[in-house]
Amino acid sequence: MRVSRYFLPVLKENPAEAQIVSHRYMLRAGMIKQQAAGIYSWLPLGLRVLNRIQQIVHEEQERAGHIPLLMPTLQPADLWRESGRYDDYGQEMLRIKDRQDREMLYGPTNEEMITDIFRSHVNSYKDLPLTLYHIQWKFRDEMRPRFGVMRGREFLMKDGYNFDVDKAAALHAYNRHMVSYLRTYERMGLTAIPMRADSGPIGGDDTHEFLVLAATGESEVFFDSAVTELKLGNREVDYDNREEVAAVCKEFTTLYARTDETHDAALFDAIPEDRRKVARGIEVGQIFYFGTKYSEAMGATVVTADGSKVPVEMGSHGIGVSRLLGAIIEASHDDKGIIWPEGVTPFPVGIVNLKQGDAAADAACEGLYKALAAKGLEALYDDRDERAGAKFATMDLIGLPWRITVGPRGLANGVVELTSRRSGESVEMTPEAAVARIAEIYAAI
C-alpha cells in the first residue's frame, strides 16, 4: 500500500477524550473513529489489525477442532425467555421492537441461540463432541463505556460453545479452550494469565479469565509472579488427548492467580513474599463450564450409548477480539507510538523514501516494494512528498515493527537502512538483504 493512496487520517494532537494510551494511539494513528459512546467505525489501519487478530483466533480454534459458523446479531426475545435470561439480563441488554411489534434484542452473547441450533439438529451422542464458534459483533449497554475499544458497547467477540455427552468430556472441552487460548494470545505477543474467576450472568461452577497485566487494567489481580514466566511456546499439543491437554492446563493453573472476585487471602499469604504480586489486568477472554444450565431449560438432549436421554453438557468460551487491540497496545508501546508484535501488525514493514522525486531513491523504493510483494509481504510505502521527520513520526506512531529507510546517500553506497521499531537499532544492508531479512522474520511467525 502506498501512503499517497491510502486513507490514514493521522492526528497530530492528543485527543482530549482519551484517558489511556491505547485509546489515544488508536485515535491518533487513524485506526478508529467514535460514532457514539462505545461505538466505533474501524478505519482501514484498525481494520487490518482486527482482521489479523480474527485470523489468528480462527486458526487456533480450528487447530483445536472447533467449527466456525455465523449467528446473527439480532435475536428473538422468546429464545431468551426460555432460559429465563430475558428478564434477568437487565439494562445491559439492548431491546428492540420490529415493525410487527415483535420483541428482539441485539445479542450480548449466544448461549440460547446456539442451544436452539443444537436441539434442532442433534439427538445422539454419536454426533458429539461438538464445539461451534463464531466471531460476531455483540452489544452490551455498558453503564460506563470507556477506554475506546477496551470497554465498548458494540464490540467484536469470539464466542464458542461445546456440547458433550458427559461432564468429563465437557471438562476436556474446557481444557482444550484453555490451551488454544494460551496459544492464541502468545501468537499475538501477549502474556495472558488464566485466573480463577467468577461466572457472573453466564453462570456455572468453573471459570477462568485470561488477564494481560497492565496498569490501566480494570481488574485487580493477585498472583504468584512465577506464573508470568510460563510459556506454551512451539510445543505440539494433541487436542484429542485428554491427559496431555489436562497436564498443560495444570501447569498453567497450579500457581496462585486470581481476580479480586475469588481472591483468597490465606492462600495468597502462603506464597513466598517476594513472589506475591498485586497488580491490574485487562480481561481478554473467559471460559466457562456450566453443565446443563441451558440444555435443561431449553430441552437440548442427546440419547446416550445405553439408550437414555440426557440434557447435553455445555460450556461457553469467549475472546474479546476488538478489546485485544487495546490490550496489545497497552502492553507494547513507547512515547512515540504503538509497537506492533509481528503476529498482528497491519503491515509487516514500512518503506520510507527520504527524497521523493529523486530518481534513484524512487526506483529503489519501487524495487523494494515489488520484491517484498513477491514474497507475500505487503509493505506500507510512504511515497508522500513530505519531510523525513514527518514520515518517521508517522511510522513510529502507527508502529510497524520494521522500517526500511531509503535515501540517495545510502544508495550511493548500495545500501538502505533496516530499523527495528522495538529496539530502535538500525543496520545498513543492500536492498536485497533487507528483503531477505524481513522475509526470514515473517516466515518464523
Between CA 61 and CA 368 the distance in angstroms is 35
Span from 81-89, 98-106, 320-328, 432-440 in contact with ligand 5CA (CB under 6 A): 320-328
Provide CB contacts within 8 A for 311, sequence distance 6+: 292, 295, 296, 300, 301
**Cα-Cα-Cα-Cα dihedral sign, residues 159, 164, 170, 176:** negative
Q: Which of 86, 139, 155, 185 binds ligand 5CA (CB under 6 A)?
A: 155
Q: Does 261 bind ligand 5CA (CB under 6 A)?
A: no
Which of 246, 235, 234, 69 minimizes the C-alpha distance to 173? 246
Span from 282-290, 294-302, 376-384, 430-438 in contact with ligand 5CA (CB under 6 A): 282-290
Which of 307, 308, 286, 312 minimizes the C-alpha distance to 297? 312
Q: Which of 60, 159, 224, 383 binds ligand 5CA (CB under 6 A)?
A: 159
Between CA 213 and CA 221 the distance in angstroms is 9
Q: Does 177 bind ligand 5CA (CB under 6 A)?
A: no
Q: Which is nearer to ligand 5CA, 146 or 276 (CB)?
A: 146
Helix (H, G, I), strand (E, B) or coil at 207: strand
Q: Does 286 bind ligand 5CA (CB under 6 A)?
A: yes
Span from 2-10, 75-83, 150-158, 254-262 in contact with ligand 5CA (CB under 6 A): 150-158
Q: Which of 28, 177, 183, 323 binds ligand 5CA (CB under 6 A)?
A: 323
Which of 145, 72, 71, 113 minimizes the C-alpha distance to 323? 145
Q: Which of 94, 122, 202, 246 binds ligand 5CA (CB under 6 A)?
A: 202
Q: Does 391 bind ligand 5CA (CB under 6 A)?
A: no
Cell 531513491 locates to 361
Site for ligand 5CA in 290-319 (CB under 6 A): 316-318
Which of 272, 269, 249, 275 minimizes the C-alpha distance to 196? 249
Closest approach of Cβ 436 to ligand 5CA, in Å?
Answer: 38
Closest approach of Cβ 145 to ligand 5CA, in Å?
Answer: 7
Q: Which is nearer to ligand 5CA, 258 or 421 (CB)?
A: 258
Closest approach of Cβ 186 to ligand 5CA, in Å?
Answer: 17
Q: Which of 142, 220, 386, 417 binds ligand 5CA (CB under 6 A)?
A: 142
Q: Which is nearer to ligand 5CA, 76 or 367 (CB)?
A: 76
Q: Which of 75, 109, 184, 253 binds ligand 5CA (CB under 6 A)?
A: 109
Of the chain, the end-to-end C-alpha distance in Å amounts to 21
Between CA 132 and CA 125 the distance in angstroms is 16
Closest approach of Cβ 55 to ligand 5CA, in Å?
Answer: 18
Between CA 313 and CA 299 the distance in angstroms is 12
Between CA 202 and CA 109 the distance in angstroms is 9
Q: Which is nearer to ligand 5CA, 151 or 391 (CB)?
A: 151
Cell 508522500 locates to 384
Q: Distance of alpha carbon 46 from its chain centroid, rounded?
A: 13
Which of 18, 15, 22, 67 minimizes the C-alpha distance to 49? 22
Between CA 420 and CA 401 the distance in angstroms is 6
Q: Which is nearer to ligand 5CA, 283 or 382 (CB)?
A: 283
Q: Which residues bind ligand 5CA (CB under 6 A)?
A: 109, 111, 140, 142, 151-152, 155, 157, 159, 202, 283-286, 288, 316-318, 320, 322-323
